[in-house]
Structure 1
Amino acid sequence: MSTVRKILLPNWQFKEASERTWKEATVPGCVHTDLLAHNVIPDPFVGKNELDIQWVDKKDWEYVSYFTLTESDMAEERLELILEGLDTYADIYVNSKQVLSTDNMFRIWKVDIKSYVQEGENMLHVYFHSPIAHDLNKPNELGYNLPADNDHSEDGGVGEKKLSVFARKAPYHYGWDWGPRFVTSGIWRNVYIEAWSHVCMQDVFIEQSHVTKEIAKLKANVELEASAPLAVTISIADNNGFSHEERIQVKKGKQTIAIPFSISKPQLWWSNGLGEPYLYHFSIDLFHNETLKSSKKVKTGLRSIRFVRDHDQGGQSFHFELNGVPVFMKGANHIPNDSFLTRVEKEDYEHEIASAKASHMNMLRVWGGGIYEPNVFYELCDEYGLLVWQDFMFACSMYPGDKAFLDNVEQEAIDNVKRLRNYACVALWCGNNEMDSAWAEYVEDAGWGWKQRYNSAQRKAIWQAYDQLFHQLLPEVIRKYDTNTAYWPSSPMQDLTFNQDQHATFASLKKGDIHYWDVWHGQKPLKAYKANVGRFMSEYGFQSFPEERTVRKYAEEKDFALESDVMLHHQKNGSGNRLIQTYMDMYYKEPKDFASFLHLSQILQAKAIRSAVEAHRIHMPYCMGTLYWQMNDCWPVASWSSMDYYGRWKSLQYEMKDRFKPTILIVDQQAEQVMCTVVSDVQQDQLANLTLQIVSCEGQIVLEEAVRIEIPKNASTKIHLVDLKDKKDWINNSVLAAKLEIDESIVDEVTHLFVEPKQMQLQDPNIHVEVIEGGIELSCDHFAMNVWMETKEEGYFSSNNFHLVPGERKQIYFTESLIQDQRFENKQIPRNINVQSMYNFITF
C-alpha cells in the first residue's frame, strides 16, 4: 500500500453567519441545497419561487467539520488540506487559525496544516462571504459596468450592476437566457487531508508525443515533491502487460521528471462511429528503498488528434483529424445539468452521454458560461467515444484585466488543464464564447454595440485586458501544460489576424467557425440555414417547450397560457414565446389547445434543427462540423435543449438520432426539382439501392423508381434528381417515400413533404398498434404526420416523431435506460402506450 493516505472530513454543519444554531449539511453541496433540505426555502424551480429566495446570496454562510487525527497521522511530515472546489469567496480556519483565503470556484486549493493541528479532535471552519456583497462596489471602483448582458442583476436586487464578471465562478449562476439566477456558495467538490512523508507524486501527465497504429511514443511527466534528496524508483505499467522502470535521484522540493517510453502496435482510441474507444490503464508507482511511497493511476486513450486549418479552394479548412482520419463532428453544446451542481450524479452525466452516443454524436462542446465539468464527465466521454470541445469559463461578457484577476485566472487555467489533459476526449481548448465577435475590436459598426458604450480610454483598457487574457495568457498555459491539444481564442472567429478579418461577424463563411442565429433571433425562415453554411457550425439553435408532464412540475393548470406569469418566468429569452408562436404560424396549423401547443413547439424545433443539420452535412467536406445549441437544461424551462431537465428526449433528440446516422439520405427540394444526396461518415465505399415512391395520403403509389448507386467513403454525394414539373395536381396530398438499402438492410428512410406541413390535407390516419416480439409495429390507413408515442413509464423509443405512410409497417423498440442500451437491443414492450400524430394536435 502507498504511504500517501487520504483522510476524509465527516459530519459537516452549516449556518447563516449571524445565527447561532448549526444545522446538518451535505458536503459536497451548497447553501441552497442545504436550505432546501431543511425546508427553509421552497423548491426554487416551482412557479416564480426563484425571485423569493434571492436573499440567500446576500448573506454570509459558515460550514464546520470536526475531525480526528491519530498519533500515526501526526507522525507524518505533511498533512495537506486539499479543497478541490470552494464556491467562491471563503476564509478557511483550522482550530480557529486562518490558513487560507480563496477567491476562485474553479481552482484547487492546497495548504499544509501540520503546524495547526493536534492529535485528537480538530476543527475545520469555512466562512463564505456573500459573493454579492464582496463584489458590489467593484463596478464603482472600475468606474463603469463591463458588458454582461446575460447577468440578471435586476432579479438579484442589485440594479444595473453586472457582478458576474468580477467573480471567478460559474457565469450562469447569475442568470442566462435559458437559466435562473441562483448565486450559490458552498463546498462544491471534495475536501480531504493528504498525509505523507519523504515524497509524494502530485500529478502524472501521459504526454502523447507521436501516436500511429505502429507505435505510440509517450512520456510520463511525473510531478512530485520531496522533503529531502533521495533515490527513488518509478515504475510504469499498463493493463496489457507493459512495464517500464527507472531509478531517479530527486531533489528536495517540487519538480517534474520526464520518463519517455513506447508501446508497439497500440490499440487506438476512436470516436463514436469510427471504432472502439479503447482505454489504457496506466499505473505509476514510486518506490523508496523498495517501499511503495506514492501511486497514481491514469486511464487514457492513445490517439493522435490534429486541429486542421489548411488553405484550400474554399478558403481555409476547420476540422479535426483523428488518427489520420478527417472526422465530421456531429453533436451539441453542453451546459451544466443543474443550477445546483452537486445534485448532478454520475447517472445523470451518463444518461446525457449515453443519449449522445445513441444519437450518433461524436462531439460535445463544454460551453464557457458554465463550469469545467468534474472528472466523471470526461471519463464517460472517454468511455463512450465522445470528443470534447472545451471552453475556458468566459462567455458573452468582457472581463477585468488587473494583475490580481489575471494571476487568479492563470492558476485556474493551470489547475484545469492539468486535471483534464490526460483525457483522450479533449480535442480543443477554446478561450471564450462569443466575446471576440461581440466586441469586434477591428470593425467599428460590427459586434453587439458594446464598444459604443465606452470612451476611448475605457475601450482601450477593455480590449487590452481581452488581448492579454485570450491571446497571451491562456495559449501560454496550453503551450506549457498540454502539448497534445490545440487552442482556439474565441468561438466564433475567423482567425487570429489582429485586423478586421479576425471576427466572425465580418460576413465570412470561408474560414473559422460560425454561430448562426439569423434563424431564431433574426427571425429568418428555416430555408436560410441552406444559404449560410460555414466551415464549422459550432452554434445555432431553435427553442421549444418541454413536454406537458415536465411543465406540470413547475406550473399549475391555471398557468397554462403562453403569456401567464409562470410560463413567462420559465422562458428566460425575452422574445422566446413570441418567436415560437411566430415560427409556428409560418409552418403549422393552429394547435387545438395549450398541451398541443407544447408538443407542436417540439415538432417545430425538430424541423428547424433538422433543416440546419442537413444543410451542414450536405456541404461536407466544406463544412466539417455541426454542434447545435443545446443538449441539456439546468432546470425545467422553455429553451433550445433537445432533452429537458429530467433527461426526457424532446422530438429534437429523436430527430438528431435519425439525422446523425453514419449514412443518411437527404432529400432537398428546390422549386420543381428534388435532389437526393447521400452523406456517409463510413470509412469505406458502399454499394446501395435507392427506392423512391411518391405516395398519396390514401396510400396510392403515384410514381416509383429504383436506382443502384455507389456511395463514396467519408463524403457527400448527389445521387438522383426527381423532376416535379407537371406533377402539381397531387402535391398537397402526396409525399416522397425514399429508402436507402445496403446489404439487404435499410440504413435510412426519408418521408419528404412537397409543401409546408400546414398545407398538407390531413385526415384521421387511424394508426394501428400491434405487439411484436420485443416491441410494437405501427401501420396506418391514411398518411400520419409526426407520429408521437409516449408512455406513463420513463423510457425511450428507438424512433419517434416520424411520418408513417399507408402500406408501411414500422417496428419500434423501447428501453427504460440508455445507459445499458444505446442500441435498443434489450427489447422491451412499453405499457400503456399512447400513439398520436399531427392530426390529434391541430385544429381544422
Structure 2
Amino acid sequence: MIKHLSVILVLASGMFACQPKDPSLMITQEINEGWQFAEDGKDDWLPAAVPGCVHTDLLANEKIEDPFYRLNERDLQWIDKLNWAYKTNIRVEKELMARDRVALDFKGLDTYADIFLNGKQVASTDNMFREYLVDVKSFLQEGENELKIVFRSPIVEGLKKYDANPFVIPVSDNDLAEIGQVEGGKKVSVYTRKAGYHFGWDWGPRLVTSGIWRPVYLKAWDDARINNLQIVQHEVNEQKATFTAVIEVESEKSGPAIIQLENDGQVLATAQVKLQAGSATYPVDFQIADPKLWWTNGLGEQPLYTIKASLRIDGRTTEATGRIGIRTLELVREKDEQGTSFYFKLNGVPVFMKGANYIPNDAFPSRVSDDMYQTVVNTAKTSNMNMLRIWGGGIYEDDLFYDLCDEAGILVWQDFMFACAMFPGDDEFLSNVKEEAADNIRRLRNHPSIGLWCGNNEILAAWYSWGWKQAEEAKSQENADKIWKAYEDIFHNVLAEAVEEHDPARAYWSSSPSSGTGIPADLVNGDEHYWGVWWGKEPFKNYATHIARFMSEYGFQSFPELKTVKQYALPEDFDIVSEVMNSHQRSSIGNKTIEYYMLQDYKKPKDFESFLYVNHVLQAEGIKFAVEGHRRAMPYCMGSLYWQINDCWPVASWSSTDYYQRWKALQYYVKKGFEPILVSPYTEGDFLKIGIVSDRLQRINATLKLSMVDFSGKVVWENAVLAEIPANSSASYYDVNLVEFLEGKDSRNQLLVAEVVENGQVIAKNLFYFRPVKELNLPKPEVDYTIAAVDGGFEISLQSDKLAKNLFITIGDEEGFFSDNYFDLLPGEPVKIKLQTAIPKEKLDEVLAIQTLDGAF
C-alpha cells in the first residue's frame, strides 16, 4: 500500500492552501464534505456521504426502507434504472493554482461516471475496479469550484451493449434479472466492469449500485510525484535479504534528484538519479541484515518492514511507503505418481492451506467499517486459518483488508473479478480489463499476504461441465468460437500477461477449478470445487473420498440464528417456507436440500427455533467430514477452503458467520478442525481408523488414548498406543475391523473419545459416534453452571450428569461472543467458557439459556 506524505493547511471553509516554501512536493486533500445527490435532471438535492452509494444515501435520507428487511429489496429495483448525480464545491486559493500539476484522484467510481468541473466534462469512467487520476488544473479557478459526477444507469448501459451484441453471452442464473425487472429478463451484468454480486447471487440480494464508493482526493504537486513503489525481493538467507526498490516517478521535466530508502529510521540506500520528463522507473538496490521471515498463522511470526522511499528535488521531498514481509513462496506444480501437485511452499516448507472463501462483507461495500474488516480477519486467525480466497464475483478489497492479513499471517488467494459467466472480447473490453488488472496488481503486490492471482471463478467449469459449450455450439459454432476466443483472450493472455509484467514472482492460475490453463478440473492435477454434497445430494461421507490436490470450494447451507432472523423478519414470518424466509434463501434448492440432509441424520425439529439450531449443527457436522478428510489426505491434498466465511446481508447461506459476524456452529467446528494437531477417528470400508495430522515443523512423541464412554460417563473400554508423529505429516495410528471393535459395545448409548497426549497434556481431542443422531438414545442431561466476572466479560463453568450433545449457550438478543459453543459436554468433565460481553451480571442471569440436541425434537 502506498501512502503520500502531505503538508496540508485546512481552513474552516473547507479550502486549503500550501504553506509558503512548502518543503513537500505533494499536497493531498480528501474531498469528503458537502456532497449532495439527486436523480439526474432533477433539482431535489439531498445530503450524500462519500464514500457511499445511491442506495445508502436514499436510506440515510429516509427515501427508502431498509433493503435487507423483509421484502423491501423487491420494491427498490427502480433505483438502478435511473441516472444519479453527485456534486460538491471545492474552494481553491491562489497558492494551489501555482503548483505544476493539480489532479483529482478517484479511488473508486461505480461505474459509468461522467465527471464535470465547473460545468465542463473532464473525464468519463466505466470500471468500478479502476482508479482514475484526472488532470484538472486548466479547469479550476481561484475561489469556488463545482465538482459534479453523473452516474449513468448500469442497467440502461448494459442493455445497450446487450442489444448491440449479435449473440447472447452465457451467464449463470446468479444474475437475477427477473427479480431486477430488467427488460426481457436480459442478463446484462457481464457487459459492465462492476461487482457481479450486485446483480444477485444464490446467497445475495439484487441491489445494483451507483456512486462514489471509494475516496476522492484533490492532489497538487511540483516537479514530480511517486506513482508507485514496488519492492522486489531477491536472495534471502540467514545473514541478509536483498531487494530492489522500483520507484515509478512522473516528472514534469528532466533533472537531477536524490532517492533515499529507509526502514524504521535507518537509511538503507541513497541514489542520485537523473529524472526523465514523463513517467519512468528508477531501481535502487538495498539489503536488510539478519532478516526475520514472515510465516503464515500457526507456523511462526509475521514481522513486517516498512520501506520509505523519499524523492528529493532542490531540497523538497515527496514520499511513498511500502510494507513488506520477507518470505519465499511458490506454487508447486510437479508431476508425481498420481498426477500433478498443487501446493504452496512457504520458506521452503510445504504448507497445508486451511481456510475459507470470502465475499464482500456488505451488499454496499462502502459500508464495510474498519472494525468489520478486523473482525473477519480475527475470526480467520482465531480459527487457525492460514488462507482466505477472495472470490471473483465481489471486489478487490480495501487496502486495510490486506494489511490485516499481512499482520495475521493469512495468505490471500486473489481472484480477478470474473465469476460464473462468459464475457465480451472486443478490444475496448479487453483494454479495460488490462488497465483494471494493472491497477490492482500494482496496488497489492507488496503485500506478503498475496499468495496467488487467479483469473476467474468457475468459468472454465461452466463452459465444459455445465453444458455451455455444447449449447453454444448447437446454436452456432461460429458464435461459440467467438465466445471461447474471448475467454482465452482475457484469461490466457490479458490477465496472465498483466501478472507477468507487474508481479512476475507470484503464480497465476487461470481458472478455479481447473487442472491447468484451459484444462477442466479433475481430481489429480489441480484444484476442485466439490458440490456433489448439496447440489448432487451426495452423502456427507463423500467429502472424505472425493478429494483433489487442493479443495478450493465446497459447502453446505444454514440459516442464521434466531437473533439475526429477528433483525430482518417479524414473528409472523417465522416459518422456513414463509414468503420472507424464502426471499432470504437464494439457493434454488435451499430449503428442500437442508431438510433432505437433516432428516437423514436427525428427527424432525419441533419448531422454527429448533430447526435453526439443528440446521447449524447439521452444517457444522457435514463440513467436519470435509475438513478432517482433506487434512488426512495430505500431502496428496494440500488445501481445504470451504465456502464461505461471511455474508453480505442476513440470509440463509453457506457461511460460517452471518451478516452481523456472529459465529454459527460451523465456525466453532472449523476452529477445532483446523487446529495444528488434529486427531480424527473415521471409518473406511469395514475398518475403524484413527488419523493424526500435524502442522508442526517438529516431531512429536505422544500417546494416542482411546476410550469408549457411555452417555452417563462410564468408561467401558480403553486403550493407548504410542504415536511418534513426524513433522508436517498425516498418518493412521490405529486400524481395526469395525465389527470386531463394536462387539460387546452399545453404539446407541456409547461414543468413542480419542485424545493425543504429549508430556501429560492433551494436545488434540475428538469424539466419534457410530450412528446417526436419530438412532442414538440421547439422554436428557442436567447441566449446571456458575458464572464469574472476568476482564471483558464472564467465565461460565459448566458440567453435566449425562451427555449434553451440541450444547448451545445463548444470551437472547444481547450481544456477546462465546469462546466455544455447540460442543458436546461429556458427563463428569467440567468445561470453562469465556463470554465476551458488556452486559451486567444481572442481565446475564436473566437472559442466559442452554439448549441441547435432545430437546430440539
TM-score normalized with structure 1 length: 0.95
Query: Are the aligned partners of 1:603 and 1:651 in contact in 2 as well (CA < 8 Å)?
Result: yes
Q: 1:452, CA displacement in angstroms?
A: 5.0
User: Is 1:782 equivalent to 2:799 in the alignment?
Assistant: no
Tell me, in whole angstroms, the C-alpha distance in 1 between the residues paired with 2:771 and 2:754: 16
Deviations 1:469-500, CA, capped at 9 Å, x for gaps = 1001111111110122110000000112x5xx
User: Is 1:120 equivalent to 2:135 in the alignment?
Assistant: no
The residue type equivalent to 1:770 in the other structure is T
Query: Are the aligned partners of 1:213 and 1:266 in contact in 2 as well (CA < 8 Å)?
Result: yes
Equivalent positions of 1:708-747 (< 5 A) are 708-724=722-738, 725=740, 727=743, 729-747=745-763
Tell me, in whole angstroms, the C-alpha distance in 1 between the residues paired with 2:298 and 2:471: 42
Deviates most, 707-716 or 717-726: 717-726
Q: 1:241, CA displacement in angstroms?
A: 2.8
User: Is 1:545 equivalent to 2:566 in the alignment?
Assistant: no
The residue type equivalent to 1:476 in the other structure is E
Tell me, in whole angstroms, the C-alpha distance in 2 between the residues paired with 1:446 and 1:228: 57
Tell me, in whole angstroms, the C-alpha distance in 2 between the residues paired with 1:357 and 1:471: 34
Alignment gaps of 5+ in structure 1: 818-826
Q: Which residue of 1 aligns with 2:442?
A: 418
Deviations 1:338-366, CA, capped at 9 Å, x for gaps = 00111100100110000000000000000
User: Is 1:82 equivalent to 2:97 in the alignment?
Assistant: no
The residue type equivalent to 2:584 in the other structure is H
Deviations 1:684-716, CA, capped at 9 Å, x for gaps = 001112221101112221101122321111010
Give percent identity, aligned residues only. Answer: 45
Tell me, in whole angstroms, the C-alpha distance in 2 between the residues paired with 1:382 and 1:240: 21
Query: Are the aligned partners of 1:676 and 1:718 in contact in 2 as well (CA < 8 Å)?
Result: yes
Tell me, in whole angstroms, the C-alpha distance in 2 between the residues paired with 1:466 and 1:412: 16
Q: 1:211, CA displacement in angstroms?
A: 2.9
Query: Are the aligned partners of 1:145 and 1:162 in contact in 2 as well (CA < 8 Å)?
Result: no
Q: 1:289 aligns with which of 290, 310, 314?
A: 314
Tell me, in whole angstroms, the C-alpha distance in 1 between the residues paired with 2:844 and 2:495: 51
Q: Which residue of 2 aligns with 1:630?
A: 644
The residue type equivalent to 1:330 in the other structure is K
Q: Which residue of 1 aligns with 2:549?
A: 535
Tell me, in whole angstroms, the C-alpha distance in 2 between the residues paired with 1:840 and 1:285: 66
Deviations 1:385-433, CA, capped at 9 Å, x for gaps = 1100000000000000000000011000000000010111000000000
Deviates most, 553-562 or 170-179: 553-562
Deviations 1:237-279, CA, capped at 9 Å, x for gaps = 1127352100001111111111121222211111100111111
Q: Which residue of 1 aligns with 2:176?
A: 152
Query: Are the aligned partners of 1:814 and 1:830 in contact in 2 as well (CA < 8 Å)?
Result: no
Deviations 1:758-816, CA, capped at 9 Å, x for gaps = 11101211112134685222221111111111224322222211112222222222334
Q: Which residue of 2 aligns with 1:234?
A: 259
Deviations 1:432-475, CA, capped at 9 Å, x for gaps = 000011102xx8x9668654563101100000000011001111
The residue type equivalent to 2:645 in the other structure is M
Equivalent positions of 1:490-569 (< 5 A) are 490-496=511-517, 502-504=519-521, 508-569=522-583
Deviations 1:497-538, CA, capped at 9 Å, x for gaps = x5xxx101xxx3111000000000000011111220110000
Tell me, in whole angstroms, the C-alpha distance in 1 between the residues paired with 2:613 and 2:167: 44
Q: Which residue of 1 aligns with 2:369?
A: 345
TM-score normalized with structure 2 length: 0.94
Cα 1:548–1:453 shift into 2, 3 Å: farther
Tell me the SS of whatever aligns to 1:730: coil
Equivalent positions of 1:413-812 (< 5 A) are 413-440=437-464, 450-451=471-472, 454-496=475-517, 502-504=519-521, 508-670=522-684, 673-724=687-738, 725=740, 727=743, 729-771=745-787, 774=790, 775-792=795-812, 793-812=814-833
Cα 1:742–1:829 shift into 2, 3 Å: farther
Alignment gaps of 5+ in structure 2: 1-22
Tell me the SS of whatever aligns to 2:805: strand
Q: Which residue of 2 aligns with 1:18?
A: 41
Tell me, in whole angstroms, the C-alpha distance in 2 between the residues paired with 1:391 and 1:210: 28
Tell me, in whole angstroms, the C-alpha distance in 2 between the residues paired with 1:769 and 1:567: 35
Q: 1:2 aligns with which of 24, 29, 33?
A: 24
Q: 1:671, CA displacement in angstroms?
A: 5.5
Tell me the SS of whatever aligns to 1:811: strand
Deviates most, 7-16 or 538-547: 7-16
Tell me, in whole angstroms, the C-alpha distance in 1 between the residues paired with 2:529 and 2:766: 28
Output the aligned Cα RMSD: 1.8
Q: Which residue of 1 aligns with 2:278?
A: 253
Q: Which residue of 1 aligns with 2:424?
A: 400
Query: Are the aligned partners of 1:212 and 1:304 in contact in 2 as well (CA < 8 Å)?
Result: no
Q: 2:211 aligns with which of 157, 174, 186?
A: 186
Deviates most, 686-695 or 205-214: 205-214
The residue type equivalent to 2:445 in the other structure is R
Tell me, in whole angstroms, the C-alpha distance in 1 between the residues paired with 2:713 and 2:686: 23
Tell me the SS of whatever aligns to 1:731: coil
Deviations 1:544-603, CA, capped at 9 Å, x for gaps = 000001011111111111211111100000110110000000011111101100111110
Tell me the SS of whatever aligns to 2:486: helix
Tell me, in whole angstroms, the C-alpha distance in 2 between the residues paired with 1:235 and 1:42: 54
Q: Which residue of 2 aligns with 1:60?
A: 83
Q: Which residue of 2 aligns with 1:175?
A: 200
Tell me, in whole angstroms, the C-alpha distance in 1 between the residues paired with 2:602 and 2:668: 20
Tell me, in whole angstroms, the C-alpha distance in 1 between the residues paired with 2:844 and 2:667: 19
